[in-house]
Every structure is written in structure tokens, then in C-alpha cells.
Structure 1
């Protein structure tokens, strides 16, 4: 056991995870758009002559940061799961190029038997925060942190249907998040799931696409996004997405599969 592995969860707060420059091409951005649900007719998302890069694509380029924390022994990578995600867009991503990023552990919350590690990644184009739910890492005497957001009490303004594809997790993992639980039944079982499940970021991005369409916004005009992954989505599931909001400047949303909440506390703005 290394010194870092033996470190109590609370002592990871403020730890620097380093910097990295990640290169990408137009092909990568197009593959991403297809993987999260863009259609072949969405030419400004899938055709290089008109390409606008989806802001959520940046989260695949920054996947190294939460992975770096796991590889340093902060938690068991076989059982830890992605709890929630925040993204603030600072500038449009170029069609291709190199993205310089720095990362750190912004916070660690003590949930009793479990802990939540917040990994923050910063660049000139975005600020993103992963919340990683780590069983067995709690009980170190830290603060519990914010409570889970509640469903709005107002009537639903729009209800959307979002389909996922049976091969969507297999496709999405080619973009960088190759955790075995999304493709290997044995790894999924070790994580407490009956079969491989869809990446939370894929579910969130695909939902955001449909919300943008319903509100008449371009998904590349995303400015802020947040959502909590309440339960797994399995490839082939259909999501029922409830939306609250008068226009694309501020939309709250949540998603369910057969009455089982899978995305909660969602907020998104375009402009």
C-alpha cells in the first residue's frame, strides 16, 4: 500500500492532479456528436464543412483528470461511479486543435459510509467539475456537503422522449472513457449493476441535445450545464425528460426510465 493509497479521503482536498494538453481532430468532434445522438441530417454537428463542436465534447477530452485521481488510489476504481457533472462554457471549442487543461481535487464530502470527490478541470474554454461517488471512503469526519436537488414543484412545461441506442455505450467509450463497467458484464456486476450501462455524460449530453431542439436553441450555444446521475441508464432505454422553463436561457430538467429517476437536478442554459 502506497502512502497516497493510505491517505484518508479528506486529505485529498486541494491536491493538484497536474496539467495536460490533449489533441483532437474534426473527426473526433464528429464521432462525439454521433455518439451522443446527433442525426446524419445535423450537418453543423457531423459535417466538417459546417462543423460546430458541441461544448460537452470537452468533457471527453478532460476525462484524464478523474481517471488520474482514481489511479493514484483515492478510491476503488471498480466500485466508484460518476455522481454528477457541472460545466461552464467560457468560449467555443475550435474544430480541431490542442486543449491545455489543469486539474485538482476541489472538494471531498463525507457521506458516512461513502465519500464524494469533486475534481475540477480548468481551461481557456471551460470549467468542469466531476463529482465521483466512492463507496467505503467516508467516515473521516468531514462535512456532508450539499443535499441532492429536489424536483421543481411547478407544472412541467415540456415532456420529451429521448431514445438511446443498444450500441451507444460501446460507441461512446471510444472517445476516452473506457471504464470496463460500460462494456464488460463482469465489471458491471462488480459495480453493482446487472449489465453494462451507459456513461452518465453520454446520457446527459444526449438529453441536452433534445432540450436544445425543443427550446429552439443550437446545442453548440450551450453556456452552463449541470445534472446528477441518480440511477444507471442501460443502452436501448427510452428516457422521459421533464422540462421547466419559459425559454432557453434557463431550463430545469429531470429524466426517468419507466418512472425510475435517472437524471435529477438538471439545469441548462443556452445563449
Structure 2
């Protein structure tokens, strides 16, 4: 099947259950501290909206297992739009489908869309070797407007962060096994992209005087690897555009964030 024929196809539904331990583990994995009581203490708990991405992680895996793309594919970008706060624990029905599939010539980009009553999440999967079938190239990616000079924030990752984040659902071997990460040119297992972009929302919320659980929109492209323990610089512009760097290397580009 050529890549374009996947567009619009259903990837099925799943009812996913979780409890407050899952919510707290997730918050710790993306950088919450013991002082963030409403993120790590069940009596005051609020759910980080990005937690929903862990519940929906199965959807791009379904498309991969169906043979739409091979092991060379990478997670190119992510969008999350929040409709309502998630409960502290419960069961959520998720419906997944393939959105647009764009022909980039040497590669294709698959959109995987997961919808629920609480959020809509869209993965963009860059798949080398799947393009060149004569399909539409797609619109040029838009970025949030950068107004004025950015504020420079700091995000400290920790050496155990990828191992901890794996417990929230992303068990891909490149995040724990040096032999697996070496196959993609990374001698040290790398941090999950969703962990990196979700972790940026905590210092950004603090800088804006917002609560990270009040996130309503998040988007960004995964531009480079992060090794657990790296210190990232996060440049934040008025209006919510942001970019994350490790030294001179951009790791999250075209970032956008909105809080209620």
C-alpha cells in the first residue's frame, strides 16, 4: 500500500484506565518536584494535560505495526489541544485515525490523530522512503509569531529521566539500551521527545505566572536529540512561541504554548 492510501483510515478505539499513581509518576517524570503538591500529592492533585499523550501513545504504534512505515521513521512533531481537565483517575475512551499523509519526495509525513472528550493529539511521523508516490506535499509548517526579544529560561533534565519516563508507556529501546540508540547514531540513550516538550511547559508556566495544568495548547517540532542530564535553554517570546536548545543546537523548534 502506498503511503497516501493510509489517509483517513481508522486506527481503532481504546478505553484506557489510569489512577492517581499514574498521574503522579508522570508529573515526576517530566520534572515536577516534591514541592509541587498539586502535581504529586493525591489530596490536591491536578492532572498535567500532557499526561494524555501517554494514554494515546498506542496509536502511532498501531500504524507502525500495520506496516505504514519502517524502523527509520521518527517522531517529527506534536500538537496537543485541550478541551477539558482530565479527572484524577478514571477511564477515557480514545479514538485514533490517520489524518493527512503528505508526500515530501524522499519521505512521507503521516499524521496520527487521537481524539477524546478531554483532548485532541496529533503526531506527525516522518517516514523516510515512503514518499515519491505523487501525492500532495502539504502546507508549509506555520510557527507562532515571535514578538520582541525572548526571555531565556533554563530546563535541567536528569540522568534517570528517560528511564523514569519509560514507566509512563514509551518503552522504545532507544531510550534505555545503548545498543539500540547506537543504531540511530546516538551512543547514549536519548530522552523521549514527548518528555522533553512536556517538561518545557513547567518552567514556561512558572515564568508566565500560570499553572502547568492550565495548558490549553502545545505544539513543537523535534529538531534534535536530548541526552538525559542535559541542561536546556528555553527561549520564550511574548504570545507563547518558544524554542529549546542544548548549547547551540536546537532540540525543540517552532514551539507554541497557551495557558488558560
Query: Shared fold by TM > 0.5?
Result: yes
d(CA) in 2 for partners of 1:233, 1:215: 25
Q: Residue deviations 1:152-192, cap 9 Å, x none?
A: 56432311010111111111011111111111122212233
How do 1:69-218 and structure 2 match up within 5 A? 69-76=63-70, 78-149=71-142, 154-218=147-211
Residue from 56, 61, 84 that aligns with 1:62: 56
Structure 1 contact 149–264 (Cα < 8 Å) conserved? no
Give the Cα–Cα distance (whole angstroms) in 1 for the partners of residues 5 and 184 of structure 2.
25
Partner of 1:50: 44
**CA contact 1:80–1:191 (8 Å) conserved in 2:** no
Contact 1:156-1:242 at 8 Å conserved across structures: no
In 2, distance between residues paired with 1:267 and 1:153?
10
Paired with 2:156 and 2:140, the residues of 1 have a C-alpha distance of 29
Contact between 2:9 and 2:98, CA under 8 Å: does it hold in 1? yes
Counterpart Cα distance in 2 of 1:79 and 1:270? 35
Match of 1:266 in 2: 255
Cα drift, residue 80 of structure 1: 1.4
Contact kept? 2:151, 2:236, Cα under 8 Å: yes
2:1 matches 1:12: no
Which residue of 2 is the match for residue 242 of structure 1? 235
1:108-160 deviations in Å (ceiling 9; x for gaps):
11111111110000000001100011111111111222334568564323110
Task: Count how many residue pairs are aligned between Structure 1 and Structure 2.
Answer: 260
Which residue number in structure 2 is paired with residue 3 of structure 1?
none
Q: Superposition RMSD on alpha carbons, in Å?
A: 1.3
5+ long unaligned stretches in structure 1: 1-6
Q: Following TM superposition, by how much is the alpha carbon of 1:79 offset from its aligned partner in structure 2, in angstroms?
A: 2.0
Q: Which ranges of structure 2 fall in alignment gaps of 5 or more residues?
A: none
